[in-house]
Structure formats: structure tokens, C-alpha cells
Amino acid sequence: MSAQQKKGILAAGIAVADVIARPFRDLPEPGSLGLIDEIGLYSGGCAANTALSLARLGIPVDVLACVGCDEFGDFIARTLERGGVGTSAVVRVGEYQTSSTVVLVSEDGERSFLHCTGANGAMRPEQFPDQLLARYGILHMGGALLLPGFDGQPMASVLARARALGLATVLDTAYDRTGRWMQTLGFCLPHVDVLMAGRNEAAGLTGAGDPDGMADDFLARGVGRVAIKLGGEGCLLKSPGERHRLPAFDLPVVDTTGAGDAFAAGFLAGMHAGLGLRECGLLGCACGGRCVGYLGAASFPIERNWLRQRLQGLGEFAPLL
């Protein structure tokens, strides 16, 4: 058993209170009223979403994120704890409000976001001391490019220290509204064992028009393995010696919020179990497909029996399932 399997996962990055409204059709005129079917409050953000899904897969996981001393912060901490996620590394910052997002879900499950960065802007390298990092086998950084006080060289320094301590490093990107893209993220890539990015994020970072070109660009910059998330088209996985194009699971779509984070959780669970690149990707696609059938980023069930049915005949998954 590897060091990564013996120890748990530290999911660091953004934690967000998501206010989800569906089905969204169009904005009402100023001063008027529009009616929808549902409004709900959910825990969101790449770090929190991924951690909650990992916990349901039985993987030991803690979150390192910054939240405010407010009701949204209380809600996120309470949701993580109830979900079996360790919260001892969650940082409370009184000078910020907890990050929050209004998520407008269309009738076909696609989303539009109104986002407040809030406490996610308070993350700093000193919140990652060596004695904390050394407890884990994998460091997952979720939400890169949405951490304005930490993106770029500060994040690169933490990733480098984590690798020096023997952790596997995984980086999952968000969309960069500043337009700086690789000017910010490029510092981190030589210290990343696995890079995950959605198609739009990967295109913005690399300028490439196809997933293979995107993956090749990341590999040329020093990344060990790449997972390009392609939504309903599945994913592309690539390393210097492997290439796998995997289809998405054909499942009903209610809300695609958090599907990329669910993919990340499945992939990380595979890493923790010592599975290969293709098997990690298959597990990621299964979890992502399960997520889109439910409202909210991390409220979907992940039953072992369901995964066994989806992944039947693949003996590589026996250590996990």
C-alpha cells in the first residue's frame, strides 16, 4: 500500500454557500416579479463539494478553506461535519463574509452563476504548515483561479512543499474572469501530478481548440497527468505514456452544478485506492453522472451497489468497491 493510500486527502480551496434557483427561464423586468419552482441553500465550492463526495465513497478527507464568521459559514461547517468531512483545518475569517453564489439552473440543467468571492480571498500559504500537510497522502487544490490571495506563486509554493513531503498533488481549475489564465496558473504546473480542467478553462489556459492540444500543452509545462472534463462527452485523460477518451454515463440530467467536482472526487478515490489513470477516469465519470441527476452540487447519493452495477466486470475496482 502506497503512502497516498495509507493517509487521507486534504481538499483545499474554495467553499461556497450556493443559493440555487430552478428552473430559470429569464430575468423579470426591473421592479417586477418572476416565479420559479424551487430555491434552496446548498454547500458548494470545489473543495467542499469534492470532500463531501469523497466522504460518501468512504475516503478519509479533511477540508482546508476560509469561511466568514456568519450564518453561511456556520452552514458550510455544519454540512461538512454532518457529511463526515474533517473541519479542523477550516479557517474562520471575521473580516470577510462567506463566499456565496446565486446559481440559476435552466430547464435543461445548465447553470449561470452570480458569485461573491468573500472569504475565499483570505487563503494564504501560512495556512498550510508542513506539520499539517504531512498528515495526508494527497493534496487536492480545488478552485484555482478563484483564490485571489493565493493563486499563482503562493499556491505554487504550497504545491512544491507538499510534493517534497511526499504528497501527490492534484489541481482543479475554475474559470478565470480576470483573463490572466496561464500568467497566474503557470507557476503551479511544474508542481502538479494531476491537472483537472473543464473544456472552457483548458481552452482559456492553453489557447488550444481541441482537448488533445489542451492536454499536450499542460504536459509540456510539467504536469504529470491531465484530465480534461468534457461534460456530456465524458473526459480525455492523458499522460506522457497513455491516452484515454472515456464517454459520459448516459443518465438523466436535472442539474449539472458540481458535476466536475463529483468527477474529481471519483478520480481522487481511484488514486487513493491505487488505481490506474483509466480506472480513475471511469470512476470520475460514474460519480459525475450520478451528480447531474440531483439538485445541488453535493447532495447526490453514491451507493456502493450502484457503482458496482455501473463498473461491473472491471476487477480493478475491487479494492475500492
The C-alpha cell that represents 190 in the structure block: 511544474
Question: CA 29, CA 137: separation in Å to the nearest integer?
Answer: 52
Digitized pLDDT (tens) for each residue of the chain, 321 residues in all: 455 556 999 999 999 998 989 888 888 899 999 899 999 898 899 999 999 999 988 899 999 999 999 999 999 999 999 999 999 999 999 999 999 989 888 888 777 888 899 999 999 999 999 999 999 999 999 999 999 999 999 999 999 999 999 999 999 999 998 999 999 999 999 999 999 999 999 999 999 999 999 999 999 999 999 999 999 899 999 999 999 999 988 777 776 667 899 999 999 999 999 999 999 999 999 889 887 776 665 666 676 666 766 776 555 555 555
How confident is the model at residue 312, as a pLDDT? 63
SS3 91: strand
How many structural domains comprise the chain?
Answer: 1
| Residue 178, Cβ density class (10 Å: 0-12 exposed, 13-18 middle, ≥19 buried) | exposed
Determine contact, residues 197/172, Cβ cutoff 8 Å: yes
Tell me, yes or no, whether 296 lies in a domain. yes
Tell me, yes or no, whether 115 lies in a domain. no
How confident is the model at residue 305, as a pLDDT? 67
Tell me, yes or no, whether 247 lies in a domain. yes
Tell me, yes or no, whether 27 lies in a domain. no
Tell me, yes or no, whether 19 lies in a domain. no
Buried b (16+ CB within 10 A) or exposed e, 214-229: bbebbbebebbbbbbb
* Residue 37 per-residue DSSP state: S
One-letter amino acid of 239: S
Tell me, yes or no, whether 33 lies in a domain. no
- In the chain, alpha helices (H): 3-6, 46-56, 71-82, 130-133, 153-164, 182-185, 199-206, 211-220, 259-272, 277-291, 304-310
Determine contact, residues 127/91, Cβ cutoff 8 Å: yes
Question: CA 193, CA 290: separation in Å to the nearest integer?
Answer: 26
Determine contact, residues 163/222, Cβ cutoff 8 Å: no
pTM: 0.90
Question: CA 51, CA 261: separation in Å to the nearest integer?
Answer: 9
Domain with 313 in it: 3-13+46-97+125-317
- Residues, the chain, total? 321
The C-alpha cell that represents 10 in the structure block: 486534504
User: Shortest CA distance to 140 belongs to which of 114, 169, 111?
Assistant: 169
pLDDT in tens, 264-295: 999 999 999 999 999 999 999 988 988 777 66
How confident is the model at residue 299, as a pLDDT? 64
Tell me, yes or no, whether 91 lies in a domain. yes
pLDDT in tens, 237-270: 999 999 999 998 877 777 666 789 999 999 999 9
Question: CA 321, CA 314: separation in Å to the nearest integer?
Answer: 11
How confident is the model at residue 1, as a pLDDT? 47
The CA-atom distances, in angstroms, between 304 and each of 6, 68, 309 are 21, 35, 9
Helix, strand, coil share of the chain (percent; to 5): 35, 25, 40
Q: What is the CATH number of the domain that holds 200?
A: 3.40.1190.20
Tell me: cis bond preceding 301? Omega within 30 of 0 counts.
no
235: Cβ contacts below 8 Å, ≥ 6 apart: 227, 228, 229, 245, 246, 248, 263, 281, 284, 285
Beta bridge partners, 14, equal: none
Tell me, yes or no, whether 28 lies in a domain. no
